[in-house]
């Protein structure tokens, strides 16, 4: 009976269609949605028939019935689109495809050459390097890039340094959001889980104006793995173990996407380490406990999309116990002798002094593509950063109260439009509005290092890129930013007088009769910042590329540089800001000459950065407090000059053998008296030889040699009064440590698990020779050696 019914319906349908007047015609064009160019040889398929467009993208389909048809339209390098059209109502229809639909797909090709700028120096690290540093930090991984070093507080607090500059001069973009996490502190590491990134790009200098005009040092752009525009599910789980610190990490990511554009993504990381060890002793109280989780969902369609993103990051970090000294003579002895004063047995316990940091980040983003015009993107993001710093205090009850309790809340709205419909030029314009509030809890029982303040930012930019011909690309841009800081700051009367503020800032005093011989002030500072860039990229002989860029950048001082006033506990020093500090102005010239082919390649990249009113923090004295003896560091300004060069070379000697060689050098001086700037990275020379045998389960093994020269250019040391000696003695707080040489080994293999999944095994041995050394940019070099030998085992499953 069912077979009879089906046959009857089929015959009636055929009779119905035959009875129709199928003389309809559909005409139109197939057009690139992006730039409006007609697409030649596009195919239109329906009912097992195929029509091909002519040189003008035009098509004509005859003998159609007055019913609805589903047309599948395709073209090379475009995702196919299905259009349903009622022929009884439509006789002319233009179909739009998008060559840029690869933006919706996950980028899986290693060594992707897509750049953020055309003319500036930049470099990208891929997921393989990120996985190698899964149990480490962002700063550790970025040292793989030539010209990038780190400012460390021990082994766990690592801040990136780009061509000699760090802190507020280095902007970090985390999944489209500029990080706001008190980056001004030397011992404030970025509150980021490196495992949340799919690739990381470093733009050296301030030429990436889209992200901000104050990035005198550079921009770090972290991008997560994209969800492809198809029905799929995939992910990875990575487990690491470390001998030094006797801990490890676990991270996992899962992505689910659908052909209709919907996608979901979740990721989480857990890290736990105990005290790390130098070659000859335990570095007591250097454990770390880190947790991170992020989630994203949204829609990524042809002409529009939106997503919601949230991340949570929490870190508890021990600060080397030996860095907190009881009196001035012990401080002098510790710094001058270099031997840690406190060495205990290994433990996972994290005691005071320590940091506890929690960071919440939320983002809502929407984009829409406009036919023959471009792409509009608007975004709102929210960040809440809470920082506790615990000191060693006189009672257990007091020790449980943080000495510093800061809460930073940030709201940001950005909107930009990328006009990219023309084949030979494009430009982008956008605006930014931001409000930030800092709350310094007064119930700590300690004078607040950073005051309460409100900060307002408004910015606008326009950048453009023009393809002069097949070999030459020009780019340029300009940006304006307005910043206002409105603070409520208490000063001790003695400090106010000693720094001469009464003569210059008496008008900001709100109350002169505050308890405790203090006065209350309300400093309000406005800054108008102009940034600009212009550059050229010239490609010749297919294998060579020359880049030249000029960047003007202005950076307003951060709250620490203006308002610091007291003991910074986790930094183990007294810091004094200066209300007179003005904005920095940088003029940077950078060049790079690059050669690339399958056999070998190299890059030479010199640069010169001239900074007016460069802000620096340097030691000037020591001071004994009720919590111990600490160096006194003060902020000041000077005109500075940074000259440097980054160079790298690779050679594929054989199908199985490759070598890589990197060298970086930067020299920083004050222009008035040629005095060396503090905390300039020492020259370093890295060489690596790699053997790869794909037939042996993708077996690779590499041996890396790192040579760090001694930094022979440094500021003068200071003299301080020694109570024991009864006279002034030299405190070698600026003397750099000796040069050192390290060897590292890395090896890995891949195994198939079924038809889809793979198992990756890796082993890294850092500091193979267990060399005792101290890095000039490690702030704990005053008290202890750096890390000894470390075995790192990695196990990851991609599914």
Q: pLDDT tens across 284-321, in order?
A: 999 999 999 999 999 998 789 999 999 999 999 999 99
* Contact indicator for 160, 215 with CB cutoff of 8 Å: no
Considering the chain, what percentage of its residues have pLDDT values greater than 70? 94
Quote the CA–CA distance of 76 and 248 in Å, as a whole number.
Answer: 47
The mean per-residue pLDDT over the stretch 335-353 comes to 87
When mean pLDDT is compared over 54-58, 132-136, 759-763, the highest value belongs to 759-763
Least confident of 99-108, 615-624, 746-755: 99-108
Q: How far apart are the first and last CA of the chain?
A: 48
Residue 794 has pLDDT above 70, yes or no: yes
Residue 571 has pLDDT above 80, yes or no: no
The mean per-residue pLDDT over the stretch 330-348 comes to 82
Encode pLDDT of 161-201 as tens digits. Answer: 999 999 999 999 999 999 999 888 788 889 999 999 999 99
Quote the CA–CA distance of 536 and 54 in Å, as a whole number.
Answer: 38
The mean per-residue pLDDT over the stretch 699-725 comes to 93
Residue 8 has pLDDT above 70, yes or no: no
Residue 612 has pLDDT above 50, yes or no: yes
Considering only residues 579 and 322, tell me which one the structure prediction assigns the higher pLDDT. 579
Encoding tokens for residue 331? Answer: 């401080």
Question: In which band, very low, low, confident or very high, does the pLDDT at 724 lie, cut at 50, 70 and 90?
Answer: confident
**What does DSSP say about strands 148-153 and 157-162: parallel, antiparallel, or unpaired?**
antiparallel
Residue 17 has pLDDT above 70, yes or no: no
pLDDT the model gives residue 12 = 45
The mean per-residue pLDDT over the stretch 647-662 comes to 96
Residue 589 has pLDDT above 90, yes or no: yes
Cis peptide before 773 (omega within 30 of 0): no
What single DSSP character describes residue 38?
Answer: B
Residue 530 has pLDDT above 50, yes or no: yes
Question: In which band, very low, low, confident or very high, does the pLDDT at 398 lie, cut at 50, 70 and 90?
Answer: confident
Residue 250 has pLDDT above 90, yes or no: yes
**What per-residue string of b and e applies to 393-406 under the rule 16 or more CB within 10 Å gives b?**
beeeeebebbbbbb
* Contact indicator for 262, 333 with CB cutoff of 8 Å: no
Instruction: Count Cα atoms within 13 angstroms, Cβ side, for 500.
Output: 3
Quote the CA–CA distance of 115 and 594 in Å, as a whole number.
Answer: 14
pLDDT the model gives residue 301 = 86
pLDDT the model gives residue 103 = 54
Count how many residues are written for the chain: 799
Quote the CA–CA distance of 407 and 403 in Å, as a whole number.
Answer: 13
Encode pLDDT of 80-126 as tens digits. Answer: 788 889 998 888 888 888 765 555 544 333 334 567 888 999 999 98
**What per-residue string of b and e applies to 317-338 under the rule 16 or more CB within 10 Å gives b?**
bbbbbbbbbeebbebbbbbbeb
Residue 15 has pLDDT above 50, yes or no: no
Least confident of 104-108, 578-582, 598-602, 624-628: 104-108
Strands of 501-582 (E only): list them. Answer: 509-514, 518-521, 524-540, 544-555, 565-568, 573-576
- List of residues 6+ apart from 728 with CB closer than 8 A: 719, 720, 721, 722
pLDDT the model gives residue 182 = 85
Q: Which of 635, 461, 484, 638 is nearest to 556 (CA)?
A: 484
Residues paired with residue 247 on neighbouring β-strands, in sequence order: 242
pLDDT the model gives residue 338 = 67
Residue 531 has pLDDT above 90, yes or no: yes
Q: Which of 661, 659, 633 is nearest to 647 (CA)?
A: 661
Least confident of 78-82, 422-426, 511-515: 78-82
The mean per-residue pLDDT over the stretch 464-487 comes to 96
Question: In which band, very low, low, confident or very high, does the pLDDT at 732 lie, cut at 50, 70 and 90?
Answer: confident
Question: In which band, very low, low, confident or very high, does the pLDDT at 723 lie, cut at 50, 70 and 90?
Answer: confident
Residue 226 has pLDDT above 90, yes or no: no
Burial of 652: CB neighbours in 10 Å, binned 0-12, 13-18, 19+: middle
Quote the CA–CA distance of 190 and 180 in Å, as a whole number.
Answer: 9
The mean per-residue pLDDT over the stretch 649-658 comes to 96
Quote the CA–CA distance of 129 and 127 in Å, as a whole number.
Answer: 5
pLDDT the model gives residue 109 = 35
Question: In which band, very low, low, confident or very high, does the pLDDT at 270 lie, cut at 50, 70 and 90?
Answer: very high
pLDDT the model gives residue 535 = 97
* Contact indicator for 758, 751 with CB cutoff of 8 Å: yes
Encoding tokens for residue 495? Answer: 């400090």
pLDDT the model gives residue 6 = 45
Residue 410 has pLDDT above 70, yes or no: yes
Sheet containing 218-223: which strands, arranged edge to edge? 121-125, 199-204, 218-223, 170-174, 177-178
Residue 397 has pLDDT above 60, yes or no: yes
The mean per-residue pLDDT over the stretch 701-705 comes to 98
């Amino acid at each position: 009976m069912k077979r009879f019914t089906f046959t009857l319906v089929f015959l009636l349908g055929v009779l119905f269609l035959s009875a129709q007047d199928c003389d309809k015609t559909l005409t139109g064009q197939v057009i690139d949605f992006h730039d409006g160019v007609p697409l030649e040889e596009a195919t239109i398929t329906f009912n097992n028939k195929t029509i091909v467009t002519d040189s003008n993208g035009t098509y004509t389909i005859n003998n159609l019935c007055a019913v609805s048809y589903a047309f599948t339209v395709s073209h090379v390098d475009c995702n196919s689109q299905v259009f349903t059209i009622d022929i009884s109502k439509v006789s002319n229809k233009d179909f739009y495809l998008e060559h840029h639909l690869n933006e919706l797909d996950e980028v899986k090709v290693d060594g992707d050459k897509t750049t953020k700028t055309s003319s500036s120096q930049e470099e990208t690290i891929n997921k393989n390097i990120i996985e190698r540093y899964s149990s480490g930090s962002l700063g550790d991984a970025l040292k793989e890039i030539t010209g990038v070093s780190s400012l460390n507080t021990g082994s766990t607090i690592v801040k990136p340094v780009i061509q000699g500059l760090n802190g507020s001069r280095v902007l970090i973009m985390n999944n489209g959001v500029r990080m706001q996490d008190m980056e001004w502190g030397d011992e404030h590491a970025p509150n980021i889980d490196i495992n949340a990134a799919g690739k990381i790009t470093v733009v050296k200098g301030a030429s990436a104006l889209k992200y901000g005009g104050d990035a005198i040092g550079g921009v770090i752009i972290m991008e997560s793995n994209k969800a492809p525009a198809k029905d799929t599910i995939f992910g990875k789980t990575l487990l690491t173990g470390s001998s030094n610190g006797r801990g490890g990490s676990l991270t996992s990511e899962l992505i689910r996407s659908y052909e209709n554009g919907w996608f979901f993504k979740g990721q989480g990381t857990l890290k736990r380490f105990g005290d790390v060890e130098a070659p000859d002793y335990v570095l007591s109280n250097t454990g770390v406990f880190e947790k991170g989780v992020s989630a994203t969902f949204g829609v990524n369609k042809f002409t529009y999309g939106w997503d919601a993103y949230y991340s949570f990051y929490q870190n508890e970090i021990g600060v080397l116990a030996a860095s907190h000294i009881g009196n001035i003579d012990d401080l002098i002895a510790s710094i001058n002798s270099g031997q840690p004063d406190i060495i205990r047995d290994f433990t996972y316990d994290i005691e005071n002094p320590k940091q506890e940091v929690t960071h919440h980040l939320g983002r809502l983003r929407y984009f829409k593509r406009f036919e023959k015009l471009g792409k509009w993107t608007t975004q709102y993001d929210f960040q809440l950063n809470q920082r506790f710093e615990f000191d060693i205090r006189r009672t257990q009850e007091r020790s449980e109260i943080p000495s510093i309790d800061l809460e930073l809340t940030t709201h940001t709205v950005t909107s930009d439009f990328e006009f990219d419909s023309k084949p030979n030029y494009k430009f982008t314009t956008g605006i930014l509005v931001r409000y930030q509030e800092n709350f310094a809890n007064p119930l700590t029982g300690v004078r607040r290092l950073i005051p309460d303040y409100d900060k307002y930012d408004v910015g606008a930019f326009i950048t453009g890129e023009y393809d002069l011909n097949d070999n030459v690309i020009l780019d340029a841009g300009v940006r304006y930013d307005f910043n206002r800081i409105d603070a409520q700051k208490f000063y001790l009367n003695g400090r106010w007088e000693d720094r001469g503020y009464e003569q210059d800032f008496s008008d900001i005093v709100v109350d002169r009769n505050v308890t405790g011989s203090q006065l209350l002030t309300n400093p309000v500072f406005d800054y108008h910042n102009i940034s600009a860039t212009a550059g050229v990229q010239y490609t010749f002989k297919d294998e060579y590329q020359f880049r030249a860029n000029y960047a003007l950048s202005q950076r307003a001082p951060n709250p620490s540089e203006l308002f610091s006033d007291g003991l910074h506990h986790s930094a183990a020093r007294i810091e004094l800001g200066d209300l007179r500090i003005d904005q920095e102005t940088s003029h940077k010239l950078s060049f790079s000459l690059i050669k690339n082919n399958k056999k070998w390649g190299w890059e030479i990249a010199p640069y010169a950065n001239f900074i007016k009113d460069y802000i620096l923090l340097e030691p000037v004295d020591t001071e004994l407090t009720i919590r111990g003896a600490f160096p006194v560091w003060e902020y000041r300004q000077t005109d500075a000059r940074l000259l440097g060069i980054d160079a790298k070379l690779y050679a594929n000697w054989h199908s199985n053998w490759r070598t890589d060689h990197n060298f970086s050098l930067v020299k920083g001086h004050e222009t008035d008296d040629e005095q060396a700037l503090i905390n300039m990275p020492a020259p370093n020379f890295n060489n690596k030889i790699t053997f790869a045998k794909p037939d042996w389960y993708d077996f690779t093994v590499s041996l890396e040699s790192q040579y760090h020269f001694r930094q022979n250019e440094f500021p003068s040391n200071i003299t301080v009064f020694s109570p024991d000696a009864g006279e002034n003695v030299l405190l070698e707080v600026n003397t750099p440590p000796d040069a050192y040489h390290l060897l590292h080994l890395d090896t890995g293999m891949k195994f198939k698990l079924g038809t889809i999944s793979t198992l990756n095994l890796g082993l890294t041995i850092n500091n193979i020779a267990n060399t005792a050394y101290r890095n000039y940019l490690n702030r704990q070099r005053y008290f202890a050696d750096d890390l000894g030998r470390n075995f790192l085992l990695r196990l990851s499953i991609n599914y």
